[in-house]
């Protein structure tokens, strides 16, 4: 999952591209609903609200951390114990 998200981010345009809030979001750890939808679904409609908050940022990061932990656990359970 995490690898998929990283590859998507590297190959596609983020909803943050050209957004006036982007510098502030990066500096202050903020995220908007458009960015959250991009992370969850892989896309965000252009009309999706772009009002960045710390709460949205925390929810997006929690979602990603939770998925990363699941992926690590899945990989670990697939390894043979010797």
For residue 27, being part of any structural domain is answered with yes
The domain tally of the chain equals: 1
For residue 73, being part of any structural domain is answered with yes
**Can you tell me the distance from the alpha carbon of 27 to that of 13, in angstroms, rounded to the nearest whole number?**
20
Range(s) of the domain holding residue 13: 2-77
Asked if residue 52 has pLDDT above 60, the reply is yes
Place of tokens 């596609």: 12
Q: What is the mean pLDDT of residues 18-46?
A: 88
Band of residue 12 on the pLDDT scale cut at 50, 70, 90: low
Q: Please report the pLDDT score of residue 15 as a whole number.
A: 85
Is residue 21 a contact partner of residue 32, using CB atoms and an 8 Å limit? Answer: yes
For residue 82, being part of any structural domain is answered with no
Per-residue pLDDT tens over the stretch 56-80: 888 888 876 676 666 666 776 776 5
Q: What is the mean pLDDT of residues 38-61?
A: 86
């Amino acid at each position: 999952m995490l690898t998929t998200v990283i590859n998507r981010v590297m190959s596609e345009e983020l909803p943050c591209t050209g957004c006036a809030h982007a510098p502030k979001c990066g500096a202050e750890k903020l995220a908007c609903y458009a960015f959250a939808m991009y992370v969850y679904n892989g896309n965000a409609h252009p009309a999706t609200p772009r009002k960045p908050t710390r709460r949205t940022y925390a929810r997006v990061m929690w979602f990603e951390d939770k998925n990363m932990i699941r992926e690590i656990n899945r990989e670990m359970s697939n390894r043979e114990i010797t």
